Amino acid sequence: MRWLSDPLLVVEHLTMRFGGLVAVNDLSFQVGRGDITALIGPNGAGKTTVFNCVTGFYKPTEGRLALARAGAVDRDAIEALTRSSARQAQSGAAELFLLERMPGHLIAHQAKVARTFQNIRLFQGMTVLENIMVAHHNLLMRASGMTVLGLLGAPHYRATEAWAVERAKYWLDKIGLLDRADDPAGELPYGAQRRLEIARAMCTDPVLLCLDEPAAGLNPRESLELNALLNTIRDEHGVSILLIEHDMSVVMQISDHVVVLDYGTKISDGTPVEVRNDPKVIAAYLGVADEEELAHVEAEIHA
């Protein structure tokens, strides 16, 4: 129950409307620090929309997305920050961010939320190593004195770049692509591209990694490797993970906390076991239409 005792991200009353269509309706949930949280639901339930709101690609119509990068979330601090016009605040050890007030690139850069995409978005014409170097952009930009010092070949910049290359090597080794570091990313097989996208996101030093269907299109063996990779990321790097996934074997095996969406509303929230036994979830997935039938299904389950 870490998502209740020590939440990293607190989503409250998130609503996203596109014209008359309500994609996400008054959604509230919490992401625990150090947890792997899965966001599941049938197609069109609004999962990716939630992701786009969290990572700043959409501005939510309503709602608050509070992220406490370090230290426990202080309710009063969130309220105080909300009343001010600022987008971030420091209260003790905790660094608070209101994601709905930040543009996308700052969410990645300052609030440290990284993401991958449902349809892989690698820089296909750049090599595997270059893809990872781009992820070090802000770090290297600072080291290169906003390009000026880098243009003059300052030693500090060279040292930082060498450090970034070492870290790239570490991650490439981790995802088994070290020997393909100099190949164009667009040439990698599908599964390798997915892993590279995750490694690239990890190189932005995130506290929260959002993965949009990381197991889509992977074979069972690759799925297992992915589970191991995600566990490593969580355990060794202390990064919390929020993922959308349809592959229930992945969801049930690795996640600590599952949130279920249907038609933009939360229908269930709890541990994988709780969610698996929730009649509303079963109904949503099996497509039961009305309340009577729901009661019927419930009765059947408890019988």
Binding site for other proteins (CB under 8 A): 55-57, 104-106, 108-109, 114-117, 121-127, 129-130, 133-138, 140-141, 144, 147, 150-151, 165, 169, 181-184, 186-187, 200-201, 204
Beta-carbon contacts of residue 37 (< 8 Å; ≥ 6 apart): 3, 31, 240, 241, 242, 243, 255, 256, 257, 258, 259
Q: Which is nearer to other proteins, 187 or 274 (CB)?
A: 187
Using alpha carbons, list the distances in angstroms from residue 302 to 215, 268, 283, 295. Answer: 32, 18, 14, 11
Please state the closest distance from residue 96 (CB atom) to other proteins, in A. 19
Contact 40, 259 (CB under 8 A): yes
Taking phi over 0 as left and psi of -120 to 50 as alpha, with beta for the rest, 143 belongs to: alpha
Q: Which is nearer to other proteins, 172 or 254 (CB)?
A: 172
| Tokens read off for 164 | 């970034």
Q: Which is nearer to other proteins, 25 or 88 (CB)?
A: 88
- Shortest CA distance to 199 belongs to which of 184, 183, 217, 214? 214
Please state the closest distance from residue 245 (CB atom) to other proteins, in A. 19
Q: Which is nearer to other proteins, 124 or 249 (CB)?
A: 124
Backbone angles phi, psi at 9, to 5 degrees: -125, 130
Q: Which is nearer to other proteins, 183 or 222 (CB)?
A: 183
Please state the closest distance from residue 107 (CB atom) to other proteins, in A. 8
Please state the closest distance from residue 256 (CB atom) to other proteins, in A. 24
- Residue 271: DSSP 8-state: -
Q: Please tell me the number of Cα atoms within 13 Å of 228 on its side-chain side.
A: 9
Q: Which is nearer to other proteins, 120 or 288 (CB)?
A: 120
Please state the closest distance from residue 4 (CB atom) to other proteins, in A. 29
Please state the closest distance from residue 160 (CB atom) to other proteins, in A. 10
For 289, counting Cβ atoms within 10 Å of its Cβ (0-12 exposed, 13-18 middle, 19+ buried), the class is exposed
